[in-house]
Amino acid sequence: MKLRQTRSPRINRQFSLPFLAIILCLCLAGCSSLFKPQPDFSLTMLHINDHHSHLDAEQAKLLLLTGDKRELISLERGGFPRVTTAMHKLTAQSDNVIKMHSGDASTGDLYFTLSEGKADSALMNTVCFDSFILGNHEFDNTDAGVKKLMGYLHSETCHTPMLSANVRFGTSSPLHDAKPPEAILPSVVLERNGEKIGIIGLTVSGKTKHSSQPDPDTIFLDEAQSAQEEIDKLTKLGVNKIILSTHIGYQRDQELAAKLSGVDVIIGGDSHSLLGPETLTQYGLTPEGPYPTQTVDRDGNQVCITQAWQYSYVVGELNVTFDPYGQVKSCDGTPWLLIGNQFSHADGQPLSPQEEAAVRKDISQSGFLRITTPDAKATAILAPYKKEKEALGDKVIAQADQNLCLRRVPGAKRDTSRSTLGDVCNQNPRVNAHGGDVQQLVAEAFLHQGRRFFEADLSLQNGGGVRIDLSPGPITVKDIYTVLPFKNTLVQLNATGQEIKDTLEDAVEGVVGPNQNTGSYPYAGGLRWQIDLNQPKGSRISQLEIREKDGSYAPFELERTYKVVTISYLADGNDSFTTLKSITGSRRIDVGLDYAEAFLAYIDSLPGTTKVIAPLKEAQYSTQNFIDTP
């Protein structure tokens, strides 16, 4: 239990009441200054998490008032130079400020592919965070990747502490027995206006060990036990304001608070949770909970929990008031969504002066939208990396030796004009029999990455999530991002065979049901089947077979649990993949790897100096036999 000064000190019974009365009179007469009530202490925490190498601003749409109605308005959102501006301006508005990053700076954009964290660190150093927590993706390039990131973050002007209380680096790790300032610390104690504040870092344990790539003998201890041990250690040192900066997810943060004694604030990451008022829904956003979320610890003391969404979109501003004994007295704040100052209709048409005035008024009254000019210094630092990234988009990474056809649904009846390559694909016998070459390659690429990170058994992908086919000739990085243009990341699901079959049946129902959605047609890596659309739902998929490690196929077992890799969009139950939505809790792990980068990594793994992409063997296509309705 965290030891604090109590509000009502206990009286030693050996002293008589008259004696105490005399002492009290003396004190009131000559020592009254000793008994002056101490003031409350206010602290502001500015924080981000999970920016995942998303350093550029991007186009977005929000529902904004253009007069008497809301409509989708296009605008620019995020970008790390806007984070820098917001951090500087918000810091200047408060007396006691701590700037925090709750992990996963790494992986998710070509900036990381190019520089392995150097670009991210250069931009983070324009903020100079007071703490940075190791997220699971900091371990994507083994412990050596963590050390490299540390080297980039420790600049001449900025020396951000990297924290994790529950990691133990093995003897083979370059971080084993490292000494400060080259060590990962469990916590750091900061001082603001004479007050000591402890910050403890926590890294998600299971996902980091099993879905990233730490060194084999590096281990991750139980988050709650590690947190409590560090809380107790800091409390004994006289620190009575304790902040956990975690990378374990919003729901688990709430569960963690209830297990601990002595925690005041949890600044979280990992689940990419947008927190805020219900009014966010008016703007087309969906908050997972309030900002801050208020709960209690094991002793019934107040705990304030926050998170700041993802991808450099939001800077969280949490204001906490502590009483003289270090207890949280109150907390409030704002998740500032950073946007640009140029607006247009969703179709690109400009706003009228009256519409723009209404939009700007709506933004100013929103309470969370913040028009922010990108920081000039941060923009200049990003410029050479941006130029390199743009050049990478034109880089040839592979050759296609033949047409890689796009097709959502096999057969000669549905979706037969999908390909931009014409009849060479639209009337291709292989495509009619088995479906799209590109869709099947994407599913195979996801399986490859899933096996790399957590020994996946199979992958699932929807036909509509793959957007273009590829003609013979050179393939560039930009081509891959055009094939997979959405904001999806990979997810691990631990699903039963029955749940997987039910998902396939759900997806096929989306094709033949009332919506006639060809985009929901399922593709899989490592799993194949036969399909008859004339059968009722539940009986359309048959003869399911799973690919073994040696390439042979074995019967698919409905009672067995399989490790599935899919994309976040489908894991949420979208596009008729309804059953997947029920796979939650410990059975769902958000791997977080950008799905286009997963395809790039698959291409890079192909043999030879010149990578050649070709259709898979027909035996590896998920649809082995397809019977359409008359």
Q: Comparing C-alpha atoms, which of 575, 441, 557, 576 is closest to residue 495?
A: 557
Q: Is the pLDDT of residue 369 over 90?
A: yes
Q: Is the pLDDT of residue 166 over 60?
A: yes
DSSP 180: T
CB of 38 closer than 8 Å to CB of 306: no
pLDDT interval class at 517 (50, 70, 90): confident
pTM of the model: 0.77
What pLDDT is attached to residue 519?
Answer: 86
pLDDT digits (tens, 9 = 90+) for 39-66: 999 999 999 999 989 999 998 899 999 9
Q: How far apart are CA 578 and CA 510, in angstroms?
A: 10
Q: How far apart are CA 215 and CA 163, in angstroms?
A: 18
What contacts 245, CB < 8 A, 6 or more positions away?
Answer: 47, 100, 102, 103, 131, 133, 163, 199, 200, 201, 202, 266, 267, 268
Region 312-329 average pLDDT: 96
Measured between alpha carbons, how far is residue 553 from residues 189, 353, 457, 543, 623 in Å?
A: 56, 64, 12, 11, 14
Preceding peptide of 292 cis, ω within 30°: yes
Please give the single-letter amino acid code of residue 73: I
Region 494-509 average pLDDT: 96
Region 148-176 average pLDDT: 93
pLDDT digits (tens, 9 = 90+) for 446-499: 999 999 888 999 999 999 888 889 999 999 998 998 888 777 889 999 999 999
**CA 167 to centroid of chain Cα atoms:** 20
32 assigned to some structural domain: no
CB of 621 closer than 8 Å to CB of 628: no
Q: Is the pLDDT of residue 8 over 70?
A: no
DSSP characters over 506-573: HHHHHHHSTT--GGG-EEEESEEEEEETTSPTTSSEEEEEEE-TTS-EEEPPTTSEEEEEEEHHHHTT
Q: Give the 3-state secondary structure of 119-174.
A: HHHHHHCCCCCCEEECCHHHHCCHHHHHHHHHHHHECCCCECCEECCCEECCCCCC
What pLDDT is attached to residue 5?
Answer: 43
Q: Is the pLDDT of residue 86 over 50?
A: yes
On whether both 372 and 512 belong to a single domain, the answer is no
17 assigned to some structural domain: no
What contacts 255, CB < 8 A, 6 or more positions away?
Answer: none
138 assigned to some structural domain: yes
> Domain total for the chain?
2
pLDDT interval class at 6 (50, 70, 90): very low
On whether both 183 and 81 belong to a single domain, the answer is yes
What pLDDT is attached to residue 13?
Answer: 30
Q: Is the pLDDT of residue 7 over 50?
A: no
Q: How far apart are CA 227 and CA 94, in angstroms?
A: 29
Q: How far apart are CA 315 and CA 49, in angstroms?
A: 9
The CATH number given to whatever domain includes residue 361 is 3.60.21.10
pLDDT interval class at 27 (50, 70, 90): very low
SS3 315: strand
Q: Is the pLDDT of residue 24 over 60?
A: no
**Higher per-residue pLDDT: 482 or 408:** 408
What pLDDT is attached to residue 15?
Answer: 39
pLDDT digits (tens, 9 = 90+) for 28-38: 444 444 445 67
What pLDDT is attached to residue 10?
Answer: 27
Q: Tell me the residue length of the chain.
A: 630
Residue at which a domain ends, from 333, 365, 391: 391
Residue where the block lists tokens 């909970």: 289
What's the burial of 423, exposed, middle or buried (CB within 10 Å: 0-12/13-18/19+)? Answer: exposed
On whether both 340 and 469 belong to a single domain, the answer is no
Q: How far apart are CA 618 and CA 97, in angstroms?
A: 60
pLDDT digits (tens, 9 = 90+) for 221-232: 999 999 999 999
On whether both 357 and 400 belong to a single domain, the answer is no
343 assigned to some structural domain: yes
The CATH number given to whatever domain includes residue 476 is 3.90.780.10
Region 94-103 average pLDDT: 97
What pLDDT is attached to residue 20?
Answer: 44
Percent of the chain's residues with pLDDT above 70: 94
On whether both 177 and 304 belong to a single domain, the answer is yes
Residue at which a domain ends, from 337, 367, 391: 391
On whether both 257 and 362 belong to a single domain, the answer is yes
On whether both 568 and 457 belong to a single domain, the answer is yes
On whether both 514 and 371 belong to a single domain, the answer is no
14 assigned to some structural domain: no
Q: Is the pLDDT of residue 159 over 60?
A: yes
What pLDDT is attached to residue 230?
Answer: 98
On whether both 421 and 333 belong to a single domain, the answer is no
Q: How far apart are CA 62 and CA 483, in angstroms?
A: 25
What pLDDT is attached to residue 36?
Answer: 59
5 assigned to some structural domain: no
For residue 276, what are its two tokens? 């805020």
For residue 435, what are its two tokens? 């479906």
On whether both 348 and 453 belong to a single domain, the answer is no
Tell me the helix, strand and coil percentages in the chain, rounded to 5.
35, 25, 40
**Higher per-residue pLDDT: 33 or 431:** 431
What pLDDT is attached to residue 17?
Answer: 45
Q: Comparing C-alpha atoms, which of 82, 59, 68, 57 is closest to residue 345?
A: 59
Q: Is the pLDDT of residue 109 over 90?
A: no
On whether both 516 and 596 belong to a single domain, the answer is yes
Give the residues across from 43 on adjacent strands.
320
Q: Which domain holds residue 399?
A: 395-627
Residue at which a domain ends, from 376, 391, 406: 391
Q: Comparing C-alpha atoms, which of 359, 273, 366, 271 is closest to residue 314?
A: 273
What pLDDT is attached to residue 518?
Answer: 85
On whether both 384 and 402 belong to a single domain, the answer is no
Q: How far apart are CA 456 and CA 565, in angstroms?
A: 6
What pLDDT is attached to residue 211?
Answer: 67
DSSP 275: B
